[in-house]
Amino acid sequence: MISYEKELDIDNKLHNYLKNSGILNNVFRPRKPLKKTRIKLHNTLALQVLLYGSETWTVKARDARRITAAGMKYMRRTAGYTWIDYKTNTQITKELKITPILDKLLEYKRKWIQHVNRMPRNRLPRVMKHSSPTGRRNHGRPLKRLLDT
């Protein structure tokens, strides 16, 4: 489900991601020979559910923590560690040779901006990227443009 409210969209995507990664955890129990397979399945099935439409998200610190925690929940189990083992997220990502989810999300955003820049000048996404509010400003926080996200 896609929502025009960013926080609801992120919540729904995280919920579906956790549901899919939980199904993967139940079907493919973590064992040493299955690590590569579990990572490939995660990247193919669960991660795409989370990152679909993430090019336009404004990721706040709270959202970044939730996204990282959700991804590491699956990866920690894939690596065979629990919270008691005191392994940091960076140690686990280096051991499994994967890139963190937030880095992938930023890469998606970068690619989308490059795609918009290649569009003809009259296309709506490019016009919206370079637009700014006109007229007098209201009191309060300034309006945001697409580049500010």
Structure confidence by residue, pLDDT tens digits, 82-93: 888 989 999 999
pLDDT at 146 over 90: no
Q: Which pTM was predicted?
A: 0.78
pLDDT at 124 over 70: yes
Helix ranges (DSSP H) in the chain = 6-27, 35-41, 47-51, 61-79, 89-96, 101-118, 124-129
Whole-angstrom Cα distance, residue 104 to residue 26?
25
3-state secondary structure of 143: coil
pLDDT at 4 over 60: no
Choose between 38 and 1: higher pLDDT. 38
